[in-house]
Structure 1
Amino acid sequence: MNTTHINTATATPRTFTIDSTLSGVSFLAAARSEFAKLKALRTSWWLSIITVALGVFIAGAVAFSFQQFAADDSAMAGDALQIAIQGQAGSYFAMILLGSLGVIAITTEYSTGAIRSSLTAVPQRFLLLSAKGLALVIWTAAVTAVMVLLSHGLTSIIAEPLSLGDIFDAEIAGMYAASWVSVVLTSLLGFGLGLLLRSSAGGIVILAVIMFVLQMVLSILYGVTGNAAWVEVLMQAEYMNLVDNAVNPNAGEFSMVPALEAWQAYVGLLIWVAVPMTLGALRFSHRDA
């Protein structure tokens, strides 16, 4: 009796490969698909709702405090721009929340294995990354715009001299736009960290370190080294200092280091975003999912 013996234990496993020469779907179709994925992700909605709710709550609390100070001491009232700046304090929480969404937007695909389906539909990896980035930008831009507008509305209703119509003031509108851009850029920073690390926990932790821990460490180092020039340069290039210089025209008044021009702050922020995005894209292009 003849039998055929197959040794499955030593069989060579099949590897997952993608033919990048295939055209796949178009960029717009890929972007629509990635946006649909964000909408289907429950975390997207939770983080977005918390972002708007927290931003509006903080705006109301700040406006109420300003109004109370103004009632007790007219010298503490402040001007419309200063009130508007303080009313956007919730944008700092929006950065960590929507930055975390940027991390999750890419790492979820690795944890579930869905990245293979995405690459099958869109074999061109850079096209896929561009579509994911565009979908993330549209989502976070919309959420941030809602938060900014509602925060302004509530702040202007509670605190004087800020009014609803001041949203068309050049300085205040420019500050709101800068705050909006900073949140969107931070979501892309999170996306780049997630792309590079492929770990939700790792990406979110590093994002938190960049936004909060690094600032404290450099402040301590600045004092320990007797205000060393090289530490001062690091503090100027630190992420949240760049955000403050981009958003707040009066940032230099309360900073330990000299203020930067707005364009310098934006260049610094773009570099912060570009580094993990570039490294993550290179890793994505050279390693299978």
Structure 2
Amino acid sequence: MSTTTVVARTCRAEVGRVWTLRSSFVLAAVTAAAVVAFGGLVGSTSDPDQVSPGSTAWDGGQMSGMFALFGILALSVVTATADYGTGGIIPTLQWTPRRGVLLCARTGVIVATGTALGLLSGAAASLVVWLFLPGLGLPAGDGAAVMGGLAYVHATGALLAVGLGLLLRSTAGGLVSVIALVLVLPMLLAQLGYTWSTTVAAHMPGTGALFLIFGEGPSDDMTAASARLTLAIWATVAISAGGWRLLRTDAT
């Protein structure tokens, strides 16, 4: 049997595993509801006469991207670590002894699921903003740019979360770690006000995501390119470390 066939079958199995978890439906529903509700809040409280020139309804969807990111991070950690907590990882590895195949399938399915959730909820939020403020419009070109930017943030965030989950093999540990890296540490370091703390904060994954979504960061030296590079490096290191543990150490 070819490797492509094995990977495809493992991906189908991973899709089934993800969506047999009750937590997956809960997290997806809560995330989508929060993002769409934020879009409604933005649309209903904005004064059409005070909207910045050149703004579109997609801007509201982009602002909601941070809410989607937290839901995606939680969903990614939970789905990556669920069978470690239940002991289901043992039969999983018996059915898929080629651990590299399992790593590719699990990572790909979770990242694709999280990214799709972010894009769909972001598009829905933009539509809600447009319903309240039809004068803003929903130009296709702006939509492609906004959704492409959000897809990058959400995909790298999901990759980071999967890597931490596989490395720690603990849902609680993975959630605490990813929240610390994305939310707590960047804010804490930026608030300290020292040059070194600001520099460190600018290189945290949460700061990169914040910059790409809102265009703001703790350092004036930050650019969109540097923020993308920061997210890519964190995601690569995390999934490399998590993948190494899956491939090289005993699952129990």
* TM-score of the superposed pair, with normalisation by structure 2: 0.90
CA contact (8 A) 2:80 2:165 kept: yes
2:227 aligned partner, one-letter code: A
What residue number does 2:171 align with? 200
Q: Which residue of 1 aligns with 2:208?
A: 242
Deviations 1:125-163 (A, max 9, x none): 121011001111221222222102211111111125421
Q: Tell me the equivalent position of 2:34.
A: 54
Q: Distance in 2 between matches of 1:269 and 1:194?
A: 17
Q: Aligned partners of 2:75, 2:230: CA distance in 1, in Å?
A: 22
The yes-or-no answer on 1:159 pairing with 2:133 is yes
Question: Structure 1 pair 30/277, CA: closer, same or farther in 2 (3 Å)?
Answer: same
Determine whether 1:42 maps to 2:22.
yes
> CA deviation digits over 1:76-112, x for unaligned, max 9?
3223537533443332122121111111112111111
Rounded Cα–Cα distance in structure 1 between residues aligned with 2:132 and 2:237: 42
Correspondence 1:189-228 to 2 at 5 A: 189-222=160-193, 225=194, 228=195
Contact 2:182–2:207 under 8 Å retained in 1: no
C-alpha deviation, 1:235, in angstroms: 2.4
- Residues in 2 aligned to 1:159 and 1:80: alpha-carbon distance in whole angstroms: 14
Match of 1:169 in 2: 141
Query: Is the deviation greater in 255-264 or in 200-209?
Result: 255-264
Q: Hey, what's the Cα distance between the residues in 2 that align with 1:210 and 1:160? A: 38
1:279 aligns with 2:241: yes
In the alignment, structure 1 segments of 5+ residues that lack a partner are 1-22
User: Once superposed, what is the RMSD of the aligned Cα atoms?
Assistant: 2.1
Aligned with 2:12 (options 26, 32, 39) = 32
Matched-pair contact (CA < 8 Å) for 1:62–1:86 = yes
How far apart, CA to CA, are the structure 2 residues paired with 1:83 and 1:149?
A: 10
Deviation of 1:192 (Å):
0.9
Q: Among the aligned pairs, what percent are the same residue?
A: 25
Query: For 2:55, what is the secondary structure of its paired residue?
Result: helix
Which residue number corresponds to residue 185 of structure 1?
A: 156
More divergent stretch after superposition (269-278 vs 235-244): 235-244
Structure 1 range deviating more: 76-85 or 147-156? 76-85
Structure 1 ranges of 4+ moved more than 4 A: none
Structure with the greater alpha carbon radius of gyration: 1
User: What pairs with 1:26-175 in structure 2 (closer than 5 Å)?
Assistant: 26-67=6-47, 70=48, 74=49, 76-81=50-55, 84-159=58-133, 161-164=135-138, 166=139, 168-170=140-142, 172-175=143-146
Deviation at 1:57, TM superposition (A): 0.4
Contact 1:140 1:184 in 2 (8 A): yes
Matched residue type, 2:176:
V
User: Normalization by structure 1: what TM-score?
Assistant: 0.79
Cα contact 1:246–1:263 (8 A) shared by 2: no
For residues 83 and 163 of structure 1, the distance between their equivalents in structure 2, rounded to whole angstroms, comes to 6
Residues 1:83 and 1:145: Cα distance change in structure 2 (over 3 Å)? closer
Aligned residues between the structures? 249
Change (3 A) 1:209 1:260: same
Q: Residues of 1 paired with 2:91 and 2:69: CA distance? A: 30
| CA displacement, residues 15-42 of structure 1 (integer Å, 9 cap, x when unaligned) | xxxxxxxx8x701100111011111111
Task: Report the Cα distance in structure 2 between the residues aligned to 1:145 and 1:157, rounded to whole angstroms.
Answer: 18
Unaligned runs of 5+ in 2: none
Amino acid at match of 2:144: A
**Which AA in structure 2 matches 1:231?**
S
- In structure 1, what residue type is equivalent to 2:231? L
In the other structure, the counterpart of 1:231 is: 197
C-alpha contact 1:63 1:87 (8 A) present in aligned 2: no
Residue 259 and residue 148 in structure 1: after superposition, are their counterparts in 2 closer, same or farther (change >3 A)? Answer: farther
- The residue type equivalent to 2:64 in the other structure is G
**Structure 1 residues 213-249: Cα deviation after superposition (integer angstroms, max 9, x where no partner):** 1122112222xx3xx2x3332122122221133334x
Corresponding letter in the other structure for 2:202: Q
- Residue 34 of structure 1 aligns with an amino acid whose one-letter code is E
SS in structure 2 of the partner of residue 260 of structure 1: coil
* Closer/same/farther in 2, CA of residues 220 and 263 from structure 1, 3 Å limit: closer
